[in-house]
Amino acid sequence: MRRIFGLVPLFLGITAISFLVVKLTPGKPVILQYALNPKVSLEQIRRLEKLEGLDQPLHIQYLNWLSNILRFNFGYSLADGRPVKEKILERLPITLGINLASLVLIILIAIPLGVKAALKAGGLFDNFTTVILFILFAAPSFWLALLLMQLFCIQLNLLPISGITSLDFEYFTLPQKIIDILRHLFLPVLVSALGGITGLSRYMRANMLEVLNQPYMLACRARGLPERVVIYKHALRNAILPIVTILGLSLPGLLGGSVIFESIFAIPGLGRLFFEAAMMRDINVIMAEVVLVSILTMLGNFLADIAYIYVDPRIRFNSKA
Amino acid sequence: MALLQIKNLNVSFLINGESLPVISGVNLNIGENETLVLAGESGSGKTITSLSITKLLPKNSVVTSGEVHFLGTDLLQLKESELCRVRGAEIAYVFQEPTSFLNPIFTIGNQLMEVIILHQGVDRDAAYSIAVELLRQTKLSSPERLMHSYPHQLSGGMNQRVFLAMSLACRPRLLIADEPTTALDVTVEAEILRLLKEFKDKLGFALLFITHNLSLARKIADRICIMYQGRIVEEAGVNDIFTAPRHPHTQKLLWAYEKIGRL
Amino acid sequence: MIGNKSLFLGAAIIIFFTFMALAAPFLTEYEPALIDGSNLLMPPSARHLLGTDSLGRDLASRIFYGARISLSIGILAVGVATVLGVFFGSLAAFYGGILDSLLMRLVDIMLCFPTFYLILGIAAITQPSVFNIVLIIGLTSWMQPARLIRSEILSLKEREFIQAAKAIGASNMRIILRHLLPNALGPVLVNATLGIGGAIMVESGLSFLGLGVQPPIPSWGNILMESKSTLGVAWWITVFPGLAILITILGFNFLAEGLKKKIG
């Protein structure tokens, strides 16, 4: 419970730094917006600044902004004037959905991969996958995305190239709609998951190897437990324990990756919103997203810590019987 | 008729394609209800010998030749599935550091019941009562609460009792104890040894006790085997060894013990 | 040295690309920005080894010159990050107390930002330039070297030879510089090597999104950005720059593995 209070300074720090970074970088955003418009006089710019509260001293601006944030008021997008909150809310489920699907894919693939490599450590499978993963790790995800697009969308014409739905989506029946969405999301989720798969499977392998060397493995066998039970009940459970932490920690990576592949695949999600805002110097959206994503990361780490405490009996029950 | 007969056992390590012998030409017999102490310094091959009996050898070690006859069957010829029926049920082990030999993420009860269900084929409720009863017999207080505890919550001595309970749950004919008290305090050691003796008298099993502590060996053994550099160098009744040791290494060991007044 | 395969392989790759970057003007007769309207989108041939892009520019030459950008940004950015990190980390570890707690708090906060978002955010607001990119990547990557050096120093601090140095009255600065740092720099070096690969990845990403190095200056990332429009038509524009990034980063990763083995 004490840990929750520890989050508060973290939150303040995040917001402070986000704010400072944006404010301290050169180039007043409002000016950028209207500077090229000769019809806007200096007087009008001053008024606009006053409206946005940009003429106040820095710490007052920060406090204003912070109180707004806490009330979920993120201001208005400088691009189209819509409330930032709205724009974020419409994209949030899409991005979260894709990232969650990614996580699931990562777990489904990386864990068996890592375990199998550990069980036959040094063997052909192990060496082969280690090499492949090492190479994949060094490959830029956007490049892989482009290659996959080239292969699946253009040459094989198996999958659609962009967006999350086809043009005549509204006319589809429900099962057709579901399949359509799945076809659209297949490559993005795959690309998003690749980085996580490399990391997690290497980690699983290392963890599994360490567990297999533990004394209690010998004791389990000595009790006559069949090898299958020894490995999949005893060893695997021990090896999987820290996964919760890893998953929590991979959140920032996934979110960061969203920016790139959402842009490539034209997915209307948070990442793409951020990218567009970045291109247009849409300050309010940028700040809101940075804070949002950082908070999500902070929560992710926090949940990962809590989950681990809950799941590992050595930490959960610390008292002596 | 000996309960366990090890004939000419040779085990080697395989490292980088080379085969390094670990134990050579080991011959050992244990009779029913006998206490045989396997003594020697660290690295003399005692543990490997004990593990080879049920083919529990670590990954890159291999039995190059030899036979292990137990109740008429050569264990080394058995398939893995058949060995699983021997381990834990006919031949059980107790190890040195009990807390690290117990799975830290399962409760004591879970691990106890697992063995009982595996070898005795009873259902969970029956296994629970058997487990509680076993814990009680090892003189552990509030066994019900212990069933829901985790290994790290108990002391070394308590965990060793749990381990004893697990090993004796299925009434094995042979208990192999590899330095079971080395990691424990002297007082706890005495209790565990007393418990061991009680169980042995009550249930009746042969005990292969491994230790490097000769004064301990003297107290509990019927016969003693001394191992040195992978071979058995001396084997005799407990009294004979201490009065008339034959092998130079034994003599050196005894001399060392006498010097520090430990015998 | 050759026995350490990773080290050797990594060094070989890096030397290869460094040579490519340094000798670019001599390796190709084509200027990277030279537009040739009569040779648009030509596949690899004897004249243009790696083909041409949508403006007729020679791809090979763009990749060679791109090596300059990517390698220099990578190395400089990691240099900034490492110097900053070592500075803060060693101060925090050595003096301990409030300074240490404050710094670690700062590290925790900074680590909450998904690096790419932060970098992207800053890149969006500032003018894209090589200098800014180096600065941005450097300022967002100092946390790990800081942590590393801090934990190394903390464990070394109590060792005997440091007590001895204190006993003979060596000043704090001297202790840090002459005794602590040299021993603690090993993991930092490994981390920096890996970091260069990471920085190259980030820079490519930024350039790919249009927020990094701006065309016509070639960066492997922005060549890939241009390849988006010719996807399916000109595979060479997509494949080759990506391969360059992949192999370069692999080189640094191999080098890091090799160094790890050497340091033990």
What is the reported pLDDT for C161? Answer: 65
The Cα A140–Cα B189 span in angstroms is: 60
What is the reported pLDDT for A295? Answer: 81
Q: Is residue B161 part of a domain?
A: no
What is the reported pLDDT for A124? Answer: 87
pLDDT at A36 over 60: no
The Cα A99–Cα A93 span in angstroms is: 10
Q: What is the CATH number of the domain that holds C82?
A: 1.10.3720.10
Task: Domain of residue B185: give its range.
Answer: 4-99+173-259
Q: Is residue C101 part of a domain?
A: yes
Residues C65-112: tens digit of each pLDDT = 888 888 999 999 999 999 999 888 888 877 778 888 888 888 887 877
Count of beta carbons in the 10 Å neighbourhood of residue A38: 7
What is the reported pLDDT for A65? Answer: 72
The Cα A263–Cα A256 span in angstroms is: 12
What is the reported pLDDT for C228? Answer: 85
- Mean of the pLDDT values across residues C180-195? 81
Q: What is the CATH number of the domain that holds B242?
A: 3.40.50.300
Assess B86–A contact: CB distance below 8 Å, yes or no: yes
Q: Nearest CB to A138: which of C115, C210, C246? A: C246
Q: Is residue C39 part of a domain?
A: no
What is the reported pLDDT for C181? Answer: 66
pLDDT at B11 over 80: yes
Q: Is residue B210 part of a domain?
A: yes
- Identify which of A45-59, B144-158, C2-16, C34-48 has the greatest average pLDDT: B144-158
What is the reported pLDDT for B175? Answer: 93
Q: What distance in Å separates residue A110's CA from the closest CA in chain B?
A: 23
pLDDT at C1 over 50: no
Instruction: Record the tokens describing residue B197, joined without a space.
Output: 């003796």
The Cα C198–Cα C196 span in angstroms is: 5
What is the reported pLDDT for C15? Answer: 86
The Cα B29–Cα A304 span in angstroms is: 55
Cβ-based burial of B226 (10 A; exposed 0-12, middle 13-18, buried ≥19): buried
Residues C136-151: tens digit of each pLDDT = 888 888 888 888 888 8
Q: Which residues contact A253 (CB under 8 A, 6 or more apart)?
A: A195, A196, C114
Q: Is residue C177 part of a domain?
A: no
What is the reported pLDDT for C77? Answer: 93
Per DSSP, A131 falls in state: H
Q: Is residue B128 part of a domain?
A: no
Assess C115–A contact: CB distance below 8 Å, yes or no: yes
Listed by number, the residues of chain C in 86-105 with a beta carbon closer than 8 Å to a beta carbon of chain A are: 105
Name the percent of chain A lying above pLDDT 70: 80
Contact call for B and A: 3+ CB–CB distances under 8 Å: yes
Contact call for C and A: 3+ CB–CB distances under 8 Å: yes
Contact call for B and C: 3+ CB–CB distances under 8 Å: no
The Cα A69–Cα A77 span in angstroms is: 14
Assess A266–B contact: CB distance below 8 Å, yes or no: no
Judge: A313–B105 Cβ closer than 8 Å, yes or no. Answer: yes
The Cα B209–Cα C204 span in angstroms is: 66
Among the listed residues B241, B244, B203, the one whose alpha carbon sits nearest the alpha carbon of residue B223: B241
What is the reported pLDDT for C247? Answer: 92
Count of structural domains within chain C: 1
Q: Which residues of A touch C117 (CB under 8 A)?
A: 255-256, 259, 274, 289-290, 293-294
- Identify which of A14-28, B136-150, C174-188 has the greatest average pLDDT: B136-150
Assess A38–C contact: CB distance below 8 Å, yes or no: no
What is the reported pLDDT for C174? Answer: 66
Assess A223–B contact: CB distance below 8 Å, yes or no: yes
Residue C249 pLDDT class (50, 70, 90 cuts)? very high
H runs (alpha helix) in chain A: 2-24, 29-34, 42-51, 58-70, 84-119, 124-138, 141-148, 174-212, 215-222, 227-229, 236-240, 243-249, 251-264, 270-279, 283-311, 313-316
Q: What distance in Å separates residue A1's CA from the closest CA in chain C?
A: 19
Q: Nearest CB to B154: which of A215, A220, A321? A: A321
Cβ-based burial of A93 (10 A; exposed 0-12, middle 13-18, buried ≥19): exposed
What DSSP letter does each residue of A22-52 carry, written as one string? HHHSSS-HHHHHHTT-TTS-HHHHHHHHHHT
What is the reported pLDDT for B249? Answer: 79
Judge: A290–C113 Cβ closer than 8 Å, yes or no. Answer: yes
Q: Which residue of A has its CA nearest to C106?
A: A13
Q: Is residue C50 part of a domain?
A: no
Assess A95–C contact: CB distance below 8 Å, yes or no: no
Q: Which residues of B touch A224 (CB under 8 A)?
A: 83-89, 115, 118-119
Best residue in A213, A214, A220, A223 to probe B by mutation, most B CBs within 10 Å?
A223
A26 or A11: whose pLDDT is higher? Answer: A11
Q: Is residue B12 part of a domain?
A: yes
Contact A251, B137 (CB under 8 A): no
Among the listed residues A255, A235, A291, the one whose alpha carbon sits nearest the alpha carbon of residue A121: A235
Assess A134–C contact: CB distance below 8 Å, yes or no: yes
Q: What distance in Å separates residue A235's CA from the closest CA in chain C?
A: 28
Count of structural domains within chain B: 1
Per DSSP, A153 falls in state: I
Residue A17 three-state SS: helix
pLDDT at A33 over 70: no
- Mean of the pLDDT values across residues A107-132? 88
Q: Is residue C40 part of a domain?
A: no
Residues B99-154: tens digit of each pLDDT = 889 998 899 999 999 999 988 888 889 999 999 998 888 888 888 888 998 998 88
The Cα B207–Cα B209 span in angstroms is: 6
A252 or A124: whose pLDDT is higher? Answer: A124
pLDDT at C44 over 60: yes
Q: Which residue of A has its CA nearest to B96?
A: A215
Contact B226, B39 (CB under 8 A): yes
Amino acid at B46: K
Rounded to 5 degrees, what are φ and ψ at B74? -85, 110
Q: Is residue C199 part of a domain?
A: yes
The Cα A189–Cα A100 span in angstroms is: 9
What is the reported pLDDT for B227? Answer: 87
How many cross-chain Cβ pairs, A to B, lie less than 8 Å apart? 88
Lowest-confidence segment of A34-43, A130-139, B71-80, B99-108 by average pLDDT: A34-43
Task: Domain of residue C131: give its range.
Answer: 2-12+58-154+187-263
- Identify which of A16-25, A203-212, C84-93 has the greatest average pLDDT: A203-212
Assess C126–A contact: CB distance below 8 Å, yes or no: yes
The Cα C27–Cα C62 span in angstroms is: 11
The Cα B106–Cα B116 span in angstroms is: 15
Q: Any idea of the CA torsion for C38, C42, C47, C48, to the nearest 10 degrees?
A: 110
B207 or A122: whose pLDDT is higher? Answer: B207
Residue A122 zone, left/alpha/beta (φ > 0; ψ -120 to 50; rest): left
Q: Is residue C28 part of a domain?
A: no
What is the reported pLDDT for C245? Answer: 93
How high does pLDDT run on average in chain A? 79
Give, for C5, the enclosing helix (H) or strand (E).
Answer: helix C5-22
Assess A157–C contact: CB distance below 8 Å, yes or no: no
Q: Which residue of B has its CA nearest to A119?
A: B59
Whole-prediction pTM value? 0.81
Instruction: Record the tokens describing residue C123, joined without a space.
Output: 């890149």
How high does pLDDT run on average in chain C? 81
The Cα B42–Cα B178 span in angstroms is: 12
How high does pLDDT run on average in chain B? 87
The Cα B259–Cα B135 span in angstroms is: 41
**Three-state SS sequence of chain B:** CCCEEEEEEEEEEEECCEEEEEEEEEEEEECCCCEEEEECCCCCCHHHHHHHCCCCCCCCEEEEEEEEEECCEEHHHCCHHHHHHHECCCEEEECCCHHHHCCCCCCHHHHHHHHHHHHHCCCHHHHHHHHHHHHHHCCCCCHHHHHCCCHHHCCHHHHHHHHHHHHHCCCCCEEEEECCCCCCCHHHHHHHHHHHHHHHHHHCCEEEEEECCHHHHHHHCCEEEEEECCEEEEEEEHHHHHHCCCCHHHHHHHHHHHHCCCC
Among the listed residues A141, A271, A146, the one whose alpha carbon sits nearest the alpha carbon of residue C224: A146
Residues A136-153: tens digit of each pLDDT = 988 998 999 888 888 877
Q: What distance in Å separates residue B128's CA from the closest CA in chain A?
A: 18
pLDDT at A98 over 80: yes
Q: What distance in Å separates residue A137's CA from the closest CA in chain C?
A: 8
Among the listed residues B121, B211, B210, the one whose alpha carbon sits nearest the alpha carbon of residue B169: B121
Residue A8 zone, left/alpha/beta (φ > 0; ψ -120 to 50; rest): alpha
Q: What distance in Å separates residue A297's CA from the closest CA in chain C?
A: 6
Assess A49–B contact: CB distance below 8 Å, yes or no: no
Count of beta carbons in the 10 Å neighbourhood of residue C38: 6
Assess C209–A contact: CB distance below 8 Å, yes or no: yes
What ipTM goes with this model?
0.87
Lowest-confidence segment of C56-60, C112-116, C225-229 by average pLDDT: C112-116
Assess A314–B contact: CB distance below 8 Å, yes or no: yes
Contact B100, A215 (CB under 8 A): yes
Q: Is residue B53 part of a domain?
A: yes
Q: Nearest CB to A146: which of C109, C224, C253? A: C224
Q: What distance in Å separates residue A219's CA from the closest CA in chain B?
A: 6
pLDDT at A31 over 70: no
What is the reported pLDDT for A275? Answer: 85
- Identify which of B67-81, C18-32, C169-183 has the greatest average pLDDT: B67-81
Contact A204, A110 (CB under 8 A): yes
B155 or A5: whose pLDDT is higher? Answer: B155
